[in-house]
Amino acid sequence: MESLGQFEQVVLTAILALDDNAYGVTIHAKVEELSRPKKVTRGAVYATLDRMEDKGLISSWLSEPTKERGGRSRRHYRIEKSGEKALRESARTAQRLIETIAQTLGGLAWKPR
Amino acid sequence: MEAALNEPPPWLEQMVLLAIPPAARESVAGDLWETYQSPYQYAAEALRTVPLVVLSQMRRHLNPLALMLQGALIFLCLGGPATLLFLPLLMLRDAYQPVTRPSPRRAIREAVLLSSGTMVLLFLFMSRHPPFPVRTGVDAFTWLSLFLAALFLSPFLCLFRAGLIMQGDRRKLLETDHVSKEALTGAYETFLKGAFCRNMLEGTALAFAAIAGFFFTWNTLLIGLFVLAAVYLLLETNPRLSSACDFVSLRAQYQRDLLRQEQLRRCLRWLWFAPVLMALQARLATTATDAQDMVIALLNGVAAAILCYLVATLNREYSGRVQEQIGFLDRMTER
């Protein structure tokens, strides 16, 4: 199974959260929101989307052209089964990390900020 | 006029459009337009975004085997420094490859330009090196035949391009916007079968060519390339279609395979012509240093240029067809 990098996890989560409205602009906005306070360039998001598409984790298609985009289409993204599986695995790892840190640093009162 | 305030100046947009690789142009330019606030913000955003998009497209179109074969061919023909210069250029060219087939007008213009250029070159050399008295190995008859050949080169190249364009127009594509999953599966299966058969046939032919290369005393590295390509093609298995795939996944898989096969074919087309190109290059090097006969060197150079043009034309036409097909698939929805 494909293991995900940290930024890939963020981008995949953004696509998952956006559901049918996942395209360049919205994905970038969601990724910025999820990676706060770190700034993320849109180019980095495109590069990651391309890479994940090549790995078969996500797939894309073009929508109808719209006027507010100068008559250009949106490239919509969707998570594939393999992407969903990889994201679940990453979430489980993150959960284990949180539990371990909580036990070591501050008992059950500790929470990631 | 209010709308004009919310859109980038045409000259700036044009510059940005030129910088974005065609495969990503539609979506990236649209996203930049959608978030437009001011010309400064638009330019700054484009400067931050486009380099990464170019790098991503370079990585996306990178086929290590194809690049290795191309690098080896350039190394054999032009040497090490040229290889170091050409490889990044080839990668950049791949990133910027057009997503449509070349237009008939442009194709014919290129053919006419090449043949006229050849004629002008021959004419200039004929005026500087008169055929009488006879020069080393090139008599008046040879000159006349070469000039006539150059004269007929133009219609020949135009016919060649026209033939390719017509062949491309006749091919059957799933060009409708709404297609059922079964129809897409059928088209994908046909493509996979065709690619598998072609790989087997071409792999066998390459193996035979490599054996022939031993008898014709080809360069060892070139024989090695033929063997490598043959083994790669013969070992390539036919990927199985997953029945659990939905329409979108199937389409993505189809697009990936289309692109991969075309990258392979592009490289193989150059490989098939490599022995001739290398022979011409060897003759060019010999005549330029030993006999100092620039006339023969020129003729060999012209022949090599025409051959390179033919291969590049084939590659552009077939690559354009594949990119066009990928574009159709991108816009397709499930019926």
What's A101's domain CATH number?
1.10.10.10
Q: pLDDT tens digits, residue range B134-170?
A: 445 556 666 666 667 766 777 777 778 778 777 777 7
- Number of structural domains chain A divides into: 1
Please report the pLDDT score of residue B285 as a whole number. Answer: 64
Interchain CB contact of A85 with B (< 8 Å): no
Asked whether residue B85 falls in the same domain as residue B121, the answer is yes
Q: Is residue A32 part of a domain?
A: yes
Q: Quick check: B250 and B184 in contact, CB under 8 A?
A: yes
Chain B residues closer than 8 Å to A82 by CB = none
Asked whether residue B35 falls in the same domain as residue B162, the answer is no
Element containing residue A75 per DSSP (H, E): strand A75-79
- Residues spanned by the domain of A58: 6-109
Q: Are A23 and B27 in contact (CB < 8 Å)?
A: yes
Kindly report the three-state secondary structure assignment for every residue of B183-213: HHHHHHHHHHHHHHHHHHHHHHHHHHHHHHH
Asked whether residue B77 falls in the same domain as residue B52, the answer is no
Terminal Cα-to-Cα distance of chain A (whole angstroms): 30
Q: pLDDT tens digits, residue range B216-250?
A: 777 888 888 889 889 988 887 666 666 667 777 78
**Residue finishing a domain among B11, B36, B59:** B59
- The model's confidence at residue B3, banded by pLDDT at 50, 70 and 90, is very low
Q: Is residue A1 part of a domain?
A: no
Asked whether residue B173 falls in the same domain as residue B305, the answer is yes
Q: Is residue A62 part of a domain?
A: yes
A44, A68, A78 ranked by CB distance to B248: nearest? A78
Asked whether the bond before B133 is cis by omega within 30 degrees of 0, the reply is yes
Token look-up 């370079």 returns B58
Asked whether residue B250 falls in the same domain as residue B235, the answer is yes
Asked whether residue B163 falls in the same domain as residue B307, the answer is yes
Asked whether residue B271 falls in the same domain as residue B255, the answer is yes
Residue range B31-46: mean pLDDT, rounded:
92
Three-state DSSP at A60 gives strand
B48, B252, B333 ranked by CB distance to A43: nearest? B48
Three-state DSSP at A70 gives coil
Chain B residues closer than 8 Å to A62 by CB = 26-27, 330-331
Q: Is residue A25 part of a domain?
A: yes
A24, A51, A59 ranked by CB distance to B31: nearest? A24
Token look-up 């490859």 returns B97
Q: Are B48 and A41 in contact (CB < 8 Å)?
A: yes
Asked whether residue B165 falls in the same domain as residue B177, the answer is yes
Asked whether residue B51 falls in the same domain as residue B69, the answer is no
Q: Beta-strand (E) ranges in chain B?
A: 178-179, 333-334
Q: pLDDT tens digits, residue range A21-39?
A: 899 999 999 999 999 888 8
Interchain CB contact of A80 with B (< 8 Å): yes
Q: Would you state the structure tokens that stand for residue B198, as one six-digit string? A: 């072609």
Q: pLDDT tens digits, residue range A7-19?
A: 999 999 999 999 8
The ipTM value here is 0.88
Q: Quick check: A58 and A77 in contact, CB under 8 A?
A: yes
Q: What is the DSSP letter of A106?
A: T
Q: Nearest 5°: phi and psi at A62? A: -95, 140
Neighbours of B26 (CB within 10 A): 21
For B58, the closest chain A residue by CA position comes to A47
Chain A residues closer than 8 Å to B184 by CB = none
Chain A residues closer than 8 Å to B330 by CB = 60-62
Asked whether residue B166 falls in the same domain as residue B299, the answer is yes
- Number of structural domains chain B divides into: 2
Interchain CB contact of A70 with B (< 8 Å): yes
Q: What is the mean pLDDT of chain B?
A: 79
Prediction pTM value: 0.73
d(Cα B145, Cα B148) in Å, to the nearest integer? Answer: 5
Q: Is residue A24 part of a domain?
A: yes
Widest pairwise Cα distance in chain A: 56
Q: pLDDT tens digits, residue range A82-103?
A: 889 999 999 999 899 888 888 8
Asked whether residue B136 falls in the same domain as residue B217, the answer is yes
Q: What percent of chain B has pLDDT over 90?
A: 16
Please report the pLDDT score of residue B291 as a whole number. Answer: 46
Asked whether residue B228 falls in the same domain as residue B170, the answer is yes
The number of residues in chain A equals: 113
Q: pLDDT tens digits, residue range B85-117?
A: 888 888 888 888 877 777 777 777 877 787 777
- Residues spanned by the domain of B160: 62-334
